[in-house]
């Protein structure tokens, strides 16, 4: 029997050991075997919970492994310490944000220590310290000097609760990323970083990054590159109106034009009698929140401004509208509308009675024709049938479906049967109206008008209808053919009619360029990064406004622009602190005012990975020589929630600093791993809000009012009260148990629910592990760990083989992309089970036993460092675990064993044959041995053997008849 496992006693012995011994201190000058491992630094809010633990425990395990593999590992930690929660504490509770932050940082550090998670603390940084934000400001100045930071008036997202503007990236779905409040639009003068200058490169360089595919996809979508053409339309008055389109092949189908309500030409072009209406619409559009504007079910709105534009390809006069579905911030803020081939334009045209002209043949080549009862003479159905047309006859109304190739033949036939004052239509590649005396095509706005006129003249019911499209829309049968946005042969398109769909866009662009009407163009969805925040707790933007000199950057020597120390922080940030605002101009020395906005905290975090290399250098932000050797970061680990924000900004800053000559690489993070969140049930009572899970009893409702609770399993968060604190758990089971369970729960990239039962599984295992090893260590303590594998008993050979397999499986997970430590730990558990079984079966070979115990301790040590260090000490090998090399795997060990070869007969496993390793590994020997085996012969009696497939070392498959 071994000793009882007492984790608290063991862990208290080792908590400071690794740090004190300096194992986690990187040698920054030695870049030969460097490995830069980085966890995203946290925002130190309140106390960490077991969900935080996942990130750092994973990183700690990887770091310990790398150290044992002999790498010079840099794994630093710091604090993303500026931000709104701290400031809100200050405003509401009068605590200085720095004090609040410092307190939380201490709490995090204590937790890391309890977890056994160690960092190179000499490199600790906090973005809120002047020594750090001085250099954040320095980066701002460099960008400003090089035209990458600018101030502009723009329509911005504003969050009324956070009382500040937000970057595009932080207004998720029209709501504030932090507090979920619907964002308002405001026109303000703000500071921007010109990230769009790098749009193409940010997109292109994704290709080579070893990042999860979904993160790359998200960035690609966010950058949103589209190719097309800019085409110059003109107003009737002669103003050029350039539109961007990805479908220049549909140009001949433009039947109207839409400008964004804020478009500068609106003012000029609006007809006097439309002015009032247009003004009102502009106000309506401005008033809406982003959420309202984006809401999917929203009907199209817009107004005609009383002006017309001329389509440069065919000279057609088309009305100009304004509508909020056209955004000033994308493309040119103006579009040509082709309702036949754009879903939004189609909806708009149908609603406002604007003509639709088809200009692209739908691929597939099917057309439809509806021949209403009473419009044709007797005999048409028979004639159609005879001519081989497919149709349905419902009460005398005919619904014909035909191939485009039969169109002419069909038209001739129908026409010969039409009553004089009637018509029918053929809808497919173009719309044709068949009258008894003529056939009319809807190939232009003019033709559309004529067709409609003629129909209205013939049929009083049609007089209510505004367009041919509306007329056709009323026939359910046609609906699926009236609009499509696929590529197809161009029709009704003047000189380009007949151009096939696969080259239509390209040919049209060539055609436009030859005539100087338009040219190839690329547009991006990405907008410039708005970095101004009207808050106190951030890095001040180092700019001064002087009446004489204008906008003046603070000289580098005057950095940092310090945050003023004030009694109490108010709602209006720096702008309400006169001592800060009023200053002198660095250029002329006259009175001037400081910029009062601080920078978005994502600016702070967009370069911190550079600072870790020389965190205390007070002469420069980073040491370029060393940074160029240590970066890119070899492995960056963090939550997927930063997939676009932080990761895109960091990439941009890196590229900008490279172009300014400070770096010689363009991507900060060579490899990225995103770990999933830990979830836990959260309970909601409509009256008492969030209820902590510990207070919720099975089957009973709210502990306060008994009302039924709404349960959702979501990421742990303090605000939902569904956090599990590590303290209690470590007191009960120890940190090793928490670590082991956290890594064993499931693949780390996936979200997973925390379970106390699961945790106890890890606890049980460590107890068994401890008891087993402490029981046997005294027997092998003074042994050598040497043995002759060939001389082992059969059971011992099996154990030795299993051991080597285990080393292989555990190592593989560290070396793989996925860090599947759930599998690695499972392998260790399996081996422990096998070891226990072996020890219960026979008197062990002590050399073998010492060897496997020794390596088993090392193998589990990245996951459970405390128990490992303690067992290592008792084994008496000397030194510390982290000074040992990682166990190696011996291929030969597996060859000692007999192999069990499954035998498939007609695809089913019918027998297993035990064979020596050599026999099983040789194709001919394997084949013969299996066919000779009694348990196989049994199945072959009276059957004909058709085929034998022998896979050496794997299996044998027989086909019999």
Angle between helix 865-875 and 7-14 (nearest 10) = 90
Please give the Cα distance from 897 to 800 (Å, whole number): 9
* Residue 475 backbone phi and psi in degrees, to 5: -95, 105
Choosing from 228, 573, 638, 862, the residue that interacts with RNA (CB under 7 A) is 228
| Cβ contact 903:911 at 8 Å | yes
State which residue, 24 or 769, has the beta carbon closest to RNA.
Answer: 769
CA dihedral 467, 473, 477, 480 (to 10 degrees): 110
State which residue, 104 or 722, has the beta carbon closest to RNA.
Answer: 722
- List the one residue out of 588, 586, 748, 619 whose CA is nearest residue 677: 748
State which residue, 243 or 930, has the beta carbon closest to RNA.
Answer: 243
Q: Does residue 907 touch RNA according to CB under 7 A?
A: yes
- Region of 392-400, 607-615, 621-629, 823-831 interacting with RNA (CB under 7 A): 823-831
Residues forming beta bridges with residue 303, ordered by sequence position: 322
Residue corresponding to tokens 């193409």: 200
Judged by CB under 7 A, the chain residues 803 through 822 that form the site for RNA are: 820, 822
Q: How far is the CB of 221 from RNA (least distance, A)?
A: 5
Which DSSP string do the residues of 242-275 spell out, in sequence order? Answer: EEEES-GGGGGG--EEEE-TT-HHHHHH--GGGH
Q: How far is the CB of 339 from RNA (least distance, A)?
A: 11
Q: Does residue 908 touch RNA according to CB under 7 A?
A: yes
Q: How far is the CB of 603 from RNA (least distance, A)?
A: 20
Q: How far is the CB of 216 from RNA (least distance, A)?
A: 8
Q: How far is the CB of 857 from RNA (least distance, A)?
A: 18
Please give the Cα distance from 726 to 759 (Å, whole number): 12
* Per rule CB under 7 A, count of chain residues that contact RNA: 81
State which residue, 584 or 888, has the beta carbon closest to RNA.
Answer: 888
* Residue 628 backbone phi and psi in degrees, to 5: -65, -25
Cis, peptide link before residue 560, omega less than 30° from 0: yes
Q: How far is the CB of 245 from RNA (least distance, A)?
A: 4
Q: How far is the CB of 887 from RNA (least distance, A)?
A: 18
Judged by CB under 7 A, the chain residues 623 through 642 that form the site for RNA are: 640
- Region of 511-519, 586-594, 698-706, 765-773 interacting with RNA (CB under 7 A): 765-773
Choosing from 181, 226, 401, 587, the residue that interacts with RNA (CB under 7 A) is 226
Cis, peptide link before residue 632, omega less than 30° from 0: yes
Judged by phi (left if over 0) then psi (alpha if -120 to 50, else beta), residue 696 lies in beta
Q: How far is the CB of 726 from RNA (least distance, A)?
A: 19
Judged by CB under 7 A, the chain residues 766 through 805 that form the site for RNA are: 767-768
Judged by CB under 7 A, the chain residues 699 through 758 that form the site for RNA are: 744-747, 750, 752, 755, 757-758
| Cβ contact 545:599 at 8 Å | no
- Region of 98-106, 370-378, 490-498, 909-917 interacting with RNA (CB under 7 A): 909-917
Judged by CB under 7 A, the chain residues 515 through 554 that form the site for RNA are: 523, 525
Q: How far is the CB of 61 from RNA (least distance, A)?
A: 16
State which residue, 194 or 300, has the beta carbon closest to RNA.
Answer: 300
| Cβ contact 416:432 at 8 Å | no
Burial track 218-238 (b if 16+ CB lie within 10 A, e otherwise)? bbeebbebeebbbbebebeee
State which residue, 318 or 663, has the beta carbon closest to RNA.
Answer: 318
State which residue, 882 or 915, has the beta carbon closest to RNA.
Answer: 915
Please give the Cα distance from 950 to 932 (Å, whole number): 14
H or E segment at 728?
Answer: helix 726-733
Judged by CB under 7 A, the chain residues 487 through 506 that form the site for RNA are: none
* Residue 717 backbone phi and psi in degrees, to 5: -155, 145
* Residue 327 backbone phi and psi in degrees, to 5: -100, 135
Residue corresponding to tokens 């042994």: 783
Q: Does residue 286 touch RNA according to CB under 7 A?
A: no
State which residue, 455 or 640, has the beta carbon closest to RNA.
Answer: 640
State which residue, 462 or 897, has the beta carbon closest to RNA.
Answer: 897
State which residue, 222 or 680, has the beta carbon closest to RNA.
Answer: 222
How many Cβ atoms are within 10 Å of 878's Cβ, its own excluded?
A: 9
Judged by CB under 7 A, the chain residues 314 through 343 that form the site for RNA are: 324-328, 330-333, 335, 342
Which DSSP string do the residues of 1-25 spell out, in sequence order? Answer: --PPP-HHHHHHHHTTHHHHTTTT-
Choosing from 224, 405, 550, 731, the residue that interacts with RNA (CB under 7 A) is 224
SS3 47: coil
Q: How far is the CB of 220 from RNA (least distance, A)?
A: 7
Q: How far is the CB of 347 from RNA (least distance, A)?
A: 7
Q: How far is the CB of 188 from RNA (least distance, A)?
A: 19
Choosing from 221, 416, 582, 784, the residue that interacts with RNA (CB under 7 A) is 221
DSSP letter at 845 equals -
Judged by CB under 7 A, the chain residues 169 through 188 that form the site for RNA are: 172-173
The first and second tokens of residue 311, run together, are 């389509």
SS3 743: helix
Q: How far is the CB of 746 from RNA (least distance, A)?
A: 3
Cis, peptide link before residue 366, omega less than 30° from 0: no
Judged by CB under 7 A, the chain residues 384 through 443 that form the site for RNA are: none
Q: How far is the CB of 383 from RNA (least distance, A)?
A: 37
Judged by CB under 7 A, the chain residues 248 through 277 that form the site for RNA are: 260
Please give the Cα distance from 168 to 155 (Å, whole number): 11
Judged by CB under 7 A, the chain residues 863 through 902 that form the site for RNA are: 900, 902
How many Cβ atoms are within 10 Å of 518's Cβ, its own excluded?
A: 25
One character per residue 919-958, x = contact with RNA (rule: CB under 7 A): ----------------------------x-x-x--xx-x-
Judged by CB under 7 A, the chain residues 342 through 381 that form the site for RNA are: 342, 344
Please give the Cα distance from 633 to 652 (Å, whole number): 15
Q: Does residue 833 touch RNA according to CB under 7 A?
A: yes
Q: Does residue 961 touch RNA according to CB under 7 A?
A: no
Judged by CB under 7 A, the chain residues 29 through 88 that form the site for RNA are: none
Q: How far is the CB of 100 from RNA (least distance, A)?
A: 29
State which residue, 173 or 363, has the beta carbon closest to RNA.
Answer: 173
Q: How far is the CB of 497 from RNA (least distance, A)?
A: 21
Judged by phi (left if over 0) then psi (alpha if -120 to 50, else beta), residue 706 lies in left
Q: Does residue 213 touch RNA according to CB under 7 A?
A: yes
| Cβ contact 209:672 at 8 Å | yes
Q: How far is the CB of 81 from RNA (least distance, A)?
A: 26
Residue 108: CB partners within 8 Å, gap ≥ 6? 42, 44, 48, 79
Q: Does residue 300 touch RNA according to CB under 7 A?
A: yes
H or E segment at 678?
Answer: strand 678-685
Please give the Cα distance from 611 to 668 (Å, whole number): 12
Choosing from 33, 103, 110, 214, the residue that interacts with RNA (CB under 7 A) is 214
Judged by CB under 7 A, the chain residues 136 through 175 that form the site for RNA are: 172-173
State which residue, 625 or 641, has the beta carbon closest to RNA.
Answer: 641
| Cβ contact 738:759 at 8 Å | yes
Q: How far is the CB of 840 from RNA (least distance, A)?
A: 10
| Cβ contact 773:853 at 8 Å | yes
SS3 358: coil
The first and second tokens of residue 52, run together, are 């935080």
């Amino acid at each position: 029997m071994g000793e009882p496992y007492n984790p608290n006693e063991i862990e208290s012995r080792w908590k400071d050991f690794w740090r004190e011994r300096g194992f986690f201190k990187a040698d920054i000058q030695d870049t030969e075997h460097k490995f830069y491992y980085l966890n995203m630094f946290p925002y130190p809010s309140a106390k960490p919970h077991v969900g935080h633990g996942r990130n750092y425990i994973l990183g700690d395990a990887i770091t310990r492994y790398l150290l044992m593999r002999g790498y010079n590992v840099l794994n630093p930690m710091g604090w993303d310490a500026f931000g709104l929660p701290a400031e809100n504490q200050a405003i509401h509770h009068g605590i200085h944000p720095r004090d609040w932050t410092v307190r939380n940082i201490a709490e995090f550090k204590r937790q890391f220590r309890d977890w056994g998670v160690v960092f190179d603390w000499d490199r600790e940084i906090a973005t809120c310290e002047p020594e750090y934000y001085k250099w954040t400001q320095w980066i701002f100045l460099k960008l400003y000097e090089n035209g990458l930071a600018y101030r502009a008036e723009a329509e911005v997202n504003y969050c009324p609760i956070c009382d500040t503007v937000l970057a595009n990236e932080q207004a998720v779905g029209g709501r504030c990323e932090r507090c979920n409040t619907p964002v308002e639009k405001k026109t303000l003068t703000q500071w921007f970083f010109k990230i769009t200058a790098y749009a193409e490169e940010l997109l292109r360089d994704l290709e080579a990054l070893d990042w999860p595919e979904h993160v790359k996809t998200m960035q690609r979508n966010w950058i949103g590159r589209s190719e097309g053409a800019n085409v110059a339309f003109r107003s009737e008055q002669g103003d050029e109106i350039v539109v961007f389109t990805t479908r220049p092949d549909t140009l001949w189908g433009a039947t109207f034009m839409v400008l964004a309500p804020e478009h500068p030409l609106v003012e000029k072009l609006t007809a006097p009698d439309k002015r009032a209406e247009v003004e009102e619409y502009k106000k309506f559009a401005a008033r809406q929140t982003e959420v309202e504007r984006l809401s999917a079910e929203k009907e199209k709105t817009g107004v005609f401004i009383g002006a017309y534009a001329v389509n440069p390809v065919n000279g057609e006069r088309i009305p100009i509208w304004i509508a909020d579905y056209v955004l000033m911030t994308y493309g040119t803020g103006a579009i040509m509308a082709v309702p036949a081939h754009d879903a939004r334009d189609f909806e708009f045209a149908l609603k406002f009675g604007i003509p639709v002209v088809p200009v692209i043949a739908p691929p597939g080549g099917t057309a439809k024709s509806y021949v209403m009862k009473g419009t044709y003479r007797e005999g048409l159905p028979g004639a159609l049938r005879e001519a081989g047309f497919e149709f349905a006859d419902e009460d005398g109304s005919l619904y014909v479906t035909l191939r485009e190739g039969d169109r002419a033949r069909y038209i001739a036939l129908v026409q010969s049967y039409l009553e004089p004052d009637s018509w029918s239509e053929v809808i497919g590649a173009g719309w044709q109206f068949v009258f008894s005396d003529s056939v009319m095509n809807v190939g232009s706005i003019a033709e559309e008008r004529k067709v409609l006129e003629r129909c209205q003249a013939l049929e009083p019911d049609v007089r209510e209808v505004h367009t041919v499209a509306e007329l056709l829309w009323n026939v359910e049968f046609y609906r699926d053919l009236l609009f499509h946005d696929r590529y197809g042969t161009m029709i009704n398109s003047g000189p380009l009619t007949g151009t096939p769909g696969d080259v239509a866009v390209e040919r049209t662009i060539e055609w436009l360029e030859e005539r100087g009407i338009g040219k190839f163009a690329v547009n991006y969805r990405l907008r410039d990064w708005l970095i101004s925040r009207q808050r106190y707790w951030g890095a001040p933007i180092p700019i001064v406004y002087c009446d004489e000199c204008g906008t003046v950057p603070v000289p580098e020597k005057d950095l940092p622009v310090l945050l003023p120390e004030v009694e109490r922080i108010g709602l209006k940030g720096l702008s309400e602190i006169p001592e800060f605002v009023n200053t002198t101009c660095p250029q002329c020395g006259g009175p001037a005012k400081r910029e009062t906005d601080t920078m978005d905290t994502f600016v702070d975090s967009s370069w911190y990975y550079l600072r870790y290399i020389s965190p205390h250098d007070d002469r420069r932000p980073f040491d370029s020589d060393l940074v160029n050797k240590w970066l890119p970061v070899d492995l960056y680990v963090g939550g997927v929630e930063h997939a676009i924000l932080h990761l895109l900004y960091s990439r941009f800053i890196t590229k900008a600093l490279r172009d300014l000559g400070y770096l010689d690489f363009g991507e900060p993070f060579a490899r990225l791993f995103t770990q999933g969140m830990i979830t836990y049930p959260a309970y909601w009572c409509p009256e008492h809000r969030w209820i902590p899970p510990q207070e919720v009893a099975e089957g009973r409702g709210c502990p306060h009012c008994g009302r039924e609770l709404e349960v959702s399993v979501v990421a742990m968060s303090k605000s939902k009260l569904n956090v599990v604190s590590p303290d209690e758990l470590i007191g009960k089971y120890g940190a090793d148990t928490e670590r082991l369970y956290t890594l064993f729960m499931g693949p780390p990239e996936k979200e997973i629910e925390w379970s106390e039962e699961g945790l106890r599984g890890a606890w049980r295992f460590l107890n068994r592990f401890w008891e087993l090893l402490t029981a046997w260590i005294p027997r092998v303590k003074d042994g050598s760990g040497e043995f002759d594998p060939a001389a082992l008993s059969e059971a011992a050979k099996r154990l030795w083989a299993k051991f080597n397999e285990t080393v292989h499986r555990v190592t593989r997970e560290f070396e793989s992309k996925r860090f599947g430590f759930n599998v690695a730990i499972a392998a260790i558990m399996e081996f422990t089970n096998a070891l226990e079984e072996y020890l219960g079966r026979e008197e062990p070979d002590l050399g073998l036993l010492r060897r496997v115990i020794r390596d088993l301790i090392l193998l589990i040590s990245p996951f459970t460092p405390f128990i490992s260090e303690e067992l290592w000490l008792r084994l008496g090998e000397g030194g510390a675990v982290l000074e040992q090399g990682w166990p190696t795997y011996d291929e030969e060990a597996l060859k000692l064993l007999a192999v069990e070869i499954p035998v498939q007969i007609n695809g089913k496993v019918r027998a297993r044959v035990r064979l020596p390793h050599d026999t099983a590994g040789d194709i001919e020997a394997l084949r013969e041995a299996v066919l000779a085996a009694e348990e196989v012969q049994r199945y072959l009696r009276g059957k004909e053997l058709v085929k034998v497939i022998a896979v050496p070392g794997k299996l044998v498959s027989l086909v019999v008849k």
